[in-house]
């Protein structure tokens, strides 16, 4: 096995963040330097508790750094109506958290790791609003040097889920998303256009059914609680947005997209938080470039996801 890839995961657990973390914790290809926690799906107090419970569930030891409790400018509007007041509905059976919380805030932790890194050494996997990373980039723009790639679940080129124009993460903190787009860091965006395809259907979850492990039971219980069907016609399960970030890092053969200019609309109004993808480079001045992933082999992804989750004993 090649040398594990150094990675920092920034997240706002959240049901799909939870499955993304369990996938990452169960993947020896990744050397997880830390988890930086954002406010988003629910408030920061809960996203930190949820992160601790997931670290306990996975039986790993990973530094947990609480981050910014609110977006840079906007007021925090959570997605508790989807993820439950706790942020982990369906996981109420998990015991109170024991994993320690670092006394180092997410922003200085990001700066410390990235300044200590060799050029292009660390992957940033971001599955929530980008407030922590944006704050770090504002405070220390030089940290871009240490970033290998920023892989972000966010945005929607076509149809939003928070508004017709905007996806939840980018609407929650559009200023942070635009700062990350303009940072010069190598950026790979996984928008709803791809993640809607990653629906957790009964057939795709079949390998987990009846498996007597805490992880399998908890994942199935959270997905059942998630309950939502996708918005696509004939949807037969909720879309697992955030695991696609870890999946893309682990298995790049499963997802495809194209490079284009990107920007996020920060102006109040119907387009606030909208991701613009300039496939034909017509924007003037030109927009910063990113790889925007739009296609996934969803059956292949779920087969590999379940295989990883089944490794937990």
Task: Kindly write down the DSSP assignment for every residue of 107-138, as one continuous string.
Answer: HHHHHHHHHHSPTT-EEEEE-S-SHHHHHHHH
Check residue 242 for interaction with ligand RIB (CB under 6 A). Answer: yes
Which sequence positions are flagged as catalytic?
241
* 6-65 positions binding Ca ion, by CB under 5 A: 12, 14, 17
Q: Considering only residues 8, 10, 16, 230, which one is a binding residue for ligand RIB as defined by CB under 6 A?
A: 16
Q: Considering only residues 110, 153, 219, 293, which one is a binding residue for ligand RIB as defined by CB under 6 A?
A: 153
3 burial type by CB count under 10 A (0-12 exposed, 13-18 middle, 19+ buried): exposed
Residue 132 binding result from ligand RIB, Ca ion, none, given CB thresholds of 5 to 8 Å by partner type: none
Residues binding ligand RIB: number (CB under 6 A): 16
Check residue 128 for interaction with Ca ion (CB under 5 A). Answer: yes
Residues binding Ca ion: number (CB under 5 A): 6
C-beta closer to ligand RIB: residue 169 or 263: 169
CA dihedral 130, 224, 308, 294 (to 10 degrees): -50
Q: Considering only residues 23, 87, 106, 167, which one is a binding residue for ligand RIB as defined by CB under 6 A?
A: 167
Q: Give the number of other CB atoms < 10 A from CB of residue 46.
A: 23
C-beta closer to ligand RIB: residue 18 or 111: 18
From CA 312, how far away is CA 197, in angstroms rounded? 26
Check residue 272 for interaction with ligand RIB (CB under 6 A). Answer: no
Q: Give the number of other CB atoms < 10 A from CB of residue 85.
A: 12
In the chain, DSSP finds a helix count (H) and a strand count (E) of 12, 9
Question: Shortest approach of ligand RIB to residue 244 CB, angstroms?
Answer: 10
From CA 153, how far away is CA 9, in angstroms rounded? 12
From CA 34, how far away is CA 36, in angstroms rounded? 6
Question: Could you list the residues that contact ligand RIB (CB under 6 A)?
Answer: 12, 14, 16-17, 40-41, 79, 127-128, 153, 161, 167-169, 241-242
């Amino acid at each position: 096995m090649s040398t594990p890839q150094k990675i920092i995961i920034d997240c706002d657990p959240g049901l799909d963040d939870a499955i993304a973390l369990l996938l990452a914790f169960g993947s020896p290809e990744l050397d997880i330097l830390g988890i930086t926690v954002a406010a988003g799906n629910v408030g920061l107090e809960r996203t930190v508790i949820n992160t601790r419970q997931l670290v306990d569930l996975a039986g790993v030891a990973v530094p947990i750094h609480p981050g910014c409790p609110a977006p840079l400018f906007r007021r925090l509007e959570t997605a508790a109506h989807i993820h439950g007041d706790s942020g982990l509905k369906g996981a109420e059976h998990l015991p109170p958290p024991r994993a320690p919380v670092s006394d180092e805030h997410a922003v200085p932790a990001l700066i410390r790791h990235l300044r200590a890194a060799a050029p292009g050494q660390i992957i940033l996997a971001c599955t929530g609003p980008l407030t922590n990373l944006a704050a770090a980039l504002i405070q220390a723009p030089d940290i871009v040097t240490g970033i290998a790639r920023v892989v972000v679940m966010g945005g929607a080129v076509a149809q939003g889920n928070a508004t017709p124009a905007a996806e939840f993460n980018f609407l929650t903190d559009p200023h942070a998303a635009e700062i990350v787009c303009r940072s010069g860091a190598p950026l790979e965006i996984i928008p709803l256009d791809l993640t809607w395809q990653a629906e957790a259907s009964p057939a795709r979850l079949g390998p987990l059914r009846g498996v007597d492990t805490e992880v399998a039971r908890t994942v199935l219980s959270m997905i059942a609680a998630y309950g939502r069907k996708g918005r696509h016609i004939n949807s037969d399960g909720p879309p697992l947005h955030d695991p696609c970030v870890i999946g893309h890092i682990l298995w790049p053969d499963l997802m495809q997209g194209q490079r284009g200019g990107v920007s996020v609309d920060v102006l109040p109004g119907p387009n606030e938080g909208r991701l613009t993808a300039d496939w034909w480079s017509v924007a003037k001045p030109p927009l910063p470039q990113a790889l925007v992933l739009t296609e996934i082999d969803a059956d292949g992804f779920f087969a590999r996801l379940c295989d990883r989750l089944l490794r937990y004993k």
